[in-house]
Structure 1
Amino acid sequence: MTLYIDALELQAQMLRSERPAPEARSVSRRPPQLAPGRLAPGVILFGPVAFVLLWEFASAVGWISPKFLAAPSTAIVTGIELLRSGTLADHFLASAKRAYLGLGIGVAIGLVLALASGLSRIGEASIDGLVQIKRAVPTLALIPLAILWLGIGETMKVALIASSVLVPIYINTHAALTGIDIRHVELARSVGLTRGAFLREVALPGALPGFFTGLRLAVTTCWTALVVLEQINTSEGIGYLMNRARDYGQTDIIVVGLAIYAALGLGSDFAVRFWERKALSYRKAMAS
């Protein structure tokens, strides 16, 4: 990473040295532009909070029947009761285990495939087409084959989550690798970097922005796949809890499950964005 940053700083100094003197440059005024502002967390949550309040109001005045959809206040009370009894914690841990195990395996496989395809023509010819085919085939279509090959237990569920996760990781990381500035590659060759050093100092730092973009998509895909897979032959998990509640018409438990899935997805996305800011902080330092 240090060599990569030094190389970019050297290149920036060379470009500055080639610029004309200040008196020779023509003065051009650009029209003022609006800088993209960053919304405060309270502003971002305005829409969801307003929706929940409207939902609660509609339930209170009788516009929405409890048999059709439970009110948010009812779902909160039900969630607290499930949490106190320990039922919710057990099902949550089962779902989290499936989701994050599949996520970890999928991220590792997608990253390895992206590096092999982005750094080698042979790798791209043999890998990219297969991943694009998997991208076009939905996870639901693979469930029958996965059951025949892996059974109907946990292995099948984790494998399908991993296969869903690796696609956004591969595509975004591969795009970032192929988009690395050719001048950085030529500079690495001129200083005599070995292949391992090139991978460590140039390829991986250049692929990080695309990797984090893919990771944000992957955490959402992970929980989306889990919602479907937990409806198949499970005896624990948030999906199983919701499936059993559907049989008894308990819409409040279904709302609790949906809220947990939404919170886990948003929480995972915020965590990835936090790691992204930390990992890519060197780019802001170079720009300043």
Structure 2
Amino acid sequence: MLLDRLKKITKKEIIADSVGKLFLRNLLKESLQYYVLDYVYSSAWGSSFLFKGGTCLRFCFGLPRLSEDLDFDIKNYKEFNLKKFCQSLSDYFIKKLQFKEFGLKVAKNNQQVYLKFPLMDQLGLKENNSESPILFLRLDLNPVDSNIYQEEISLISDDDFNFIIKRYALTDLFASKLAAILERTFKKGKGDIITFKGRDYFDLIWFLQKNIKPNFLRLENITGVKKNQLIKKIDNKVNQINLDYLKEDLLPLFRKRDFVNSFCNSFSELYQTNKNLFNTL
């Protein structure tokens, strides 16, 4: 069933180049995300797992981009048994779904779990020996970073899956996205160039255009940044954006690269047009 679902996706896509391959990989990951979410929220683990991040925005609110990972905050994190969780998740894929080749590894101080699906050969997507036959799906598992939030639920239902997700409210998700923009940095290349996740800035425009009010108390609790300091700090981050890096991060998340080019070229204007929302809150 799992492999058949992925084969259907693969047949529909036309791969023109390496960027197209990355998009297809992420599209396949999204299909696998359904299986993980179905497992989590159909099990006892679901009562303590709070879904968050870009994938939550996509599944629950229709964010129009792909997302690579699954992010959860876990209530009562000190009581969470990672070993037992990994074993039961493995049993789900290997025993219930009969995907015998499934594997996983734990990383980053036991807060990341990489699910390994060696199926690129079977999908006809491994063209040479330099390409990995494994499709990885990462789970980020963290303690709740602030007690200031509202818990909500969303129904996910299609031909193959039916489950109810437990997640943060949209206003809390916006606060967490702003915290990521303010605090998250990455090193790129041999020169360890400090950069950013372009997807965070796409999501920022998405939130602003939907007139979502961030949970300012949550944001301050996480970052120490007060409401009256926010615009200046976000402005500073936006002014440092390298449009090439913005484009590079977004391309594998959208089917239409012309849209990505247009978004990147228009980003500054989009931000200036929409940032006034902060002044009305």
Which TM bucket (shorter chain)?
under 0.3
TM-score normalised according to structure 1 size: 0.22
Whose helix proportion is higher, 1 or 2? 1
Whose strand proportion is higher, 1 or 2? 2
State which structure, 1 or 2, has the greater radius of gyration over its C-alpha atoms. 1
TM-score normalised according to structure 2 size: 0.23
